[in-house]
Structures are given as C-alpha cells and as structure tokens.
Amino acid sequence: MKSPVVQLERTGCGIAAVAALGGRSYPEMKSIANALGIFADDKSLWSDTSHIRRLLDHVGLIADPGEVPFRSWESLPDLALLAIKWNQNKDRSFWHWVVFLSPSFVFSKK
C-alpha cells in the first residue's frame, strides 16, 4: 500500500480500499472495476465479497480464499482488508470496507 485513497463515490469504499492496497488512484481502480462489471452503486457489492475478491485478483493482490473472522487486533496481519460497521437490513448483511495497516486504519471517506 502506497498511500490512502479518497473514496470519490458515496458507495465506493471497496473500490477505494483495493486502490489503496494496489497503489492506484480511485479513478484508475474505478475504471478497472467498471470494465469487470463492478460498479460502486451495485447494492450486491455492499454485501458480497466476491466482487472485491475478483478486483483484488485482477490487480494481482492475493486474499485469503474465504472470509476470516476477527479474533483480535494482535492476530491481524500487518496489512488487511476489513469489513466494518456490519449491519443487517431485511435479512441482508452490509458493511464498510477499510484497509488496516498495522497499527492504524486507512479510511476511504473524505
């Protein structure tokens, strides 16, 4: 990760997080995501990890094959993509993507 990336769309936290991890700008990562059929305003992106995993893979970043439950701050790797602010609405889970860079967080919101 080279530097924080500002989320330029209200719902683009996943795109911003992958941009930060990949050392790219938000517009560049948005263009890559859109070419893959991934759009920030697609509500399935808010509650499904497959889109972010596909974007990570496309830019050469390796993620764990499945979701890893949070155990403790000490158990996190030095660099991690976390889903926070988890909530449920009409039987569907939603969250906000952030990058954890030990020992701090990098938020994508302005």
Per-residue pLDDT tens over the stretch 37-61: 999 988 777 778 899 999 999 999 9
Beta bridge partners of 92: 89
- 103's tokens: 């020992």
CB 95 within 8 A of CB 86: yes
Q: How many CA atoms lie within 13 A of 39 on its CB side?
A: 4
% residues pLDDT > 70 (the chain)? 92
By CB atoms closer than 10 A (0-12, 13-18, 19+), residue 80 is middle
Per-residue pLDDT tens over the stretch 27-40: 999 999 999 999 99
Q: What is the pLDDT of residue 105?
A: 60
Collapsing DSSP states into helix, strand and coil, what is residue 14?
A: helix
Q: What is the pLDDT of residue 55?
A: 96
